[in-house]
Chains A and B, each alone.
Chain A
Amino acid sequence: MFSVNSITKGLQKTSITQVRTATKRAAGSRTNKNDSAGRRLGPKVFEGNFVSPGQIIMRQRGTKIHPGENCGIGKDHTIFALEPGFVKFYYDPFHPLRKYVGVALKKDYTLPKDHFDPRLRRFGYVEITDEAEALKEESRMSRKEYLQQAELTKKKQMRAHHDQALSTTFQEQLSQFVELSDDEATLAIERLVNNYKLIRLDHSIEDANQQSTFNYILSLKSLLANNKITQEELTTLKEKYIKLAEKLDRDVTVDFSTKQLTKYLNSEQRSALRNDIKEKLNGFKNKVISSEDKKHIEQLISTPLAFNKVERADLTSDYLPSVLPESVEETVFDPEKGIPEGGKVITKYDNTLRKTIKIGRTKEAFLNQL
C-alpha cells in the first residue's frame, strides 16, 4: 500500500518546468508608452481677479466652462476676457446644466445680471482733444466713401441744376397767377419747388403745402437757435409767411408731370374734374381711335391735378390699350375673305368653341402703331 507520505514525497521530487508554446506575444506595450506632458489646462485667473481685454481666463478641452458676459471663446475652447473687469464664475438659470465664467465691469457687480435689468456697458473711446487731429479724424473716409465722392458731387450738382431750372420756370409763370412783391416771390418759388418735389412723391397737394410751411417754421427756429433773429422777429416772420402761404395755396399749385404752375383746385373741384374727364373718355370706348383721338385721350388723361401716376397708368391701359378689343367690330375682318392692307391675322384659343380660331385685325386695331 502506498502511504500518503510517499505520494507527497514523490511530488516534491518532480520539478514543474514551464513550457512556452508557439503563441502570440502579449500586446499593449506599444501605445501606452506615448504619454505626453500635461497641457497645463485649467483656470488661469480666479474669482474676483482683475483681467484686461484678451487675457486668458481658462484653458480647457471642450467647454467645461462656457463663456459668459464679456467673455469670448477660441477655437480650442480657451476662454478670454473681452472687457477689463473682474472674473466671476456663475450659473445661468437659462442654462441650468452649464457653468459660466464672465467678466463683471465693476467689482461688486454680480453675475448673472437680472434678466430684465439693463446691461452695464463700457464706452471705452477717448476724446481727441487736439483740434487739428480731430479734424483729420473727422474727415477720414473709408475707401468706399472716397470712391463714391465723384458720383455724389455729380448728383448734388444735378439736383441743384434741376432746382434752378424749376425756379426759373416758376418765376416766369408766377405773375400769371398771383401778384407778389420780390421778397414774397422768392419765398413763394422756394415753396413751390419743395411742393413739386413732394407732390412728385405722391404727397397730396394739401400735405405738401403743410409740409412746406412746417419746413419754413423750422428754418426760422434754426435761425433763432443760432441767434440770427429774435423771438419777436420769428413770430412776425412766421405770421407773414403763413399769410403768404394762404394766398399762394388758394391760387396756384404745381402739376407734377409737366412741372408747370397751374391753378389750384380743391378736392371737390378735382373730383368733379375727374368725373368730367372720365365721362369724356367713355365716349371713346369701343370705337376706332384715330391718331388725333389718341392725342386727345392722352391730353385728357394728363390734365393737371386730375389723376396721379397710378391712376394715369390705369386709364392709359383702359382707353389706349396697345391693341383694341375685338368688340370694336370695325377692326375685325374674316381672314378667309382676303386681308386688307396693313391687316394682321391672329391665331387664338376660343374658350366657348374650345378650339383655336383665326381672327383678322385691321391696322386700326393696333394703337401702339398709330
Chain B
Amino acid sequence: MLRIFKRSLNSGKGIWSNFSNRSETLKVQNIKPHAATYHSPLLIDDAFKSAYEILQQESEKIYQRAQTVEKDDLKDKLLSQAESKNPEVLYNIQNGNDLDITQPVYRNHLKKQWENYDLMILMQRLEQFKVIPDTLPTIQPTVDVKVKFPHITNGEFNRWIVPGEFLPSFLTKQPPTIKLQQFDNYKNESKLFSIVLINPDEPNLETNSFKTTLNFGVSNLSLSLTDDSLDVTKYLKYENGSEEFSMFKSYEPILPEVNAGDYQRACLFVFEQPEKINVDQINAEDFDIRSFVNNYNLSPVGGTMWRQKYDRSVNDVRSEYGLSKGRVFHRVRKPFPLI
C-alpha cells in the first residue's frame, strides 16, 4: 500500500498525477498511520513502477477516447474504466473510505456492490413476501433506497434497515430518513421523485379481505447524486413552510391491530416523475397504487419493505396520533368464506 505514494516518484507527469481536470477525491484518502507494515519482495518496486507507467498510459488513451464520445452512458463507462486500475482509487475503494459518488469509477463500484448484495436481498424479500405482485405488478430497481428512523435513541435500531425485517411501532412512529442512491444519473442533475408508503394488509371486514392504505405520500421531491435523501432537515423545512416538496399524505405509521394476521407489510416505493405533478383526490383508506402509477405517469425505480405486527408500543403511538383504540380480533382464524 505504501507504494501508491510513489506517484510523484514515478515520472509524475502521467494522467494519474494531473489533478487539473481530475477530481481531488481520486487521490488517496485517510491514510491509516499505523497500517500493518508490509515488506515488499526484492525488486518489486521496479516492476511496480513499470506496471504503473503502462497502466497510466492506457488510462490516458481511454480518457482521450472518452472525449470523442457523445453518448452519456458510454462516456461514463469509459471514464470509470480509465480510473479503474489507478492504485489510489483502488486503495480508497478497498479501505471503505467515503467514496465520491459523482466520480464514475466510484459510482460504478458502488453500483456493482449494490447489485451483488443489497439488490438481491431486496428482490428476494419483495418476491417472497409477495409485495410484488400484491402491490405493483413487478419492479426493476435502478435506485438504491435505504431507510432508517433517526429519532431512535436505542442503539439497536440506529442503522439502515434490512428489507423484510420486523420493526416495532415505537421505531416507526416518526417518518423515516429515506436515502436514494442513483447510479445512472451521469451528470448529477436534479430529478423529481415521488415516494409512497403503503400497507396492503389492512383488514377489510366488509369483504372479509384486505385493502391497501396509503400511510405516507410525497411528490415533487428533487434529488441529485449529492443531495440524495429525504431527512429531518427537509421535514423541518416543510414544517416551517419553506417546502421543497409536496406531501399528499402526511406520515401516519402502520399500527397493526391485535391478531389481525401474522404481520403487515410496509411497502415503500420510489417513483421517478417525468414532470411536476399535483396529486389530489387520494383515497388513503383504500388506495389503489396501480391506478395511481398510471394516472400520474410514474415509473417505479426503487423500493424497500419492512414488516410490523402488534406490539406493546402500538397503543401509545395510537394515542400520539389521536387515533381511537384499535380493534381486537379473535386469535383463531374462522372458516367464513370471502364475501
Contacts and interface: CB of A to CB of B under 8 A. Distances in A.
Interface of A: 52-53, 84-85, 105-106, 115-128, 134-135, 137-138, 140, 194, 197-198, 201-203, 207, 210-211, 213-215, 217-218, 222, 224-227, 238, 242, 317-318, 351
B209 A118 contact: no
Interface in B22-45: 33-34, 39
A25 B333 CA distance: 65
A137 B208 CA distance: 21
Contacts of A106: 338
B321 interface: yes
Contacts of A203: 150
Contact of A138 (B200, B203, B320, B328): B328
Contact of A351 (B34, B39, B133, B203): B39
B96 to A, nearest CB: 12
Interface in B231-277: 232-233, 235-236, 239-240, 258-261
Most buried by B among A210, A213, A218, A227: A218
14 contacts: A84-B335, A85-B337, A106-B338, A121-B210, A122-B337, A125-B259, A126-B329, A126-B334, A127-B205, A134-B258, A214-B232, A217-B236, A222-B320, A238-B239
A211 B209 contact: no
A145 to B, nearest CB: 8
A119 B322 contact: no
Given A123-B210, A124-B336, A125-B259, A197 B130 contact: no
A118 B322 contact: no
Contacts of B335: 52-53, 84, 124
Interface string B138-157: 10000000000011010100
A17 B137 CA distance: 86
Contacts of B98: none
Contacts of B336: 84, 124, 126
B258 A138 contact: yes
B319 interface: yes
Contacts of B258: 134, 137-138
A225 B333 CA distance: 34
B158 interface: yes
A198 B149 CA distance: 12
Contact of A123 (B150, B204, B235, B321): B204
A124 B322 contact: no
A138 B318 CA distance: 15
Closest 3 CB pairs of A and B: A225-B322, A116-B137, A197-B153
Given A116-B133, A123-B261, A207 B334 contact: no
Nearest to B328: A134
A64 to B, nearest CB: 27
Given A123-B204, A124-B334, A127-B327, A226 B233 contact: no
B108 interface: no
Interface string B301-335: 00000000000000000011110000111110111
A157 to B, nearest CB: 16
B174 interface: yes
A214 B173 CA distance: 13
Nearest to A212: B151
B224 interface: no
Nearest to B289: A118
Contacts of A222: 320-322
Contact of B208 (A123, A128, A224): A123
A193 B34 CA distance: 37
B134 interface: yes
A154 to B, nearest CB: 16
B86 interface: no
Contact of B235 (A105, A135, A214): A214
Nearest to B314: A138
Contacts of A197: 153
Contact of A137 (B210, B235, B320, B331): B331
Nearest to A238: B239
B239 A127 contact: no
A226 B39 CA distance: 69
B135 interface: yes
B70 to A, nearest CB: 37
Contact of A201 (B134, B155, B203, B259): B155
A211 B34 contact: no
B133 A118 contact: yes
A358 B75 CA distance: 59
Most buried by B among A125, A217, A222, A226: A125
A321 to B, nearest CB: 8
B247 to A, nearest CB: 13
B333 A125 contact: yes
Contacts of A118: 133-135, 200
Contact of B232 (A52, A115, A125, A207): A207
A215 B175 CA distance: 11
A213 B232 CA distance: 10
A207 B150 CA distance: 9
A85 B260 contact: no
Nearest to A55: B335
B141 to A, nearest CB: 17
A275 B68 CA distance: 45
Contact of B239 (A119, A201, A207, A217): A217
Contacts of A225: 320-322
Nearest to A352: B39
A226 B322 contact: yes
A93 B154 CA distance: 49
B311 to A, nearest CB: 10
B153 A194 contact: yes
Given A128-B328, A214-B151, A122 B321 contact: no
Nearest to A206: B233
Nearest to B37: A351
A213 B236 contact: yes
A1 B239 CA distance: 138
Contact of B209 (A122, A134, A202): A122
Contact of A125 (B138, B239, B260, B319): B260
Interface string B150-171: 1101010010000000000000
A211 B152 CA distance: 10
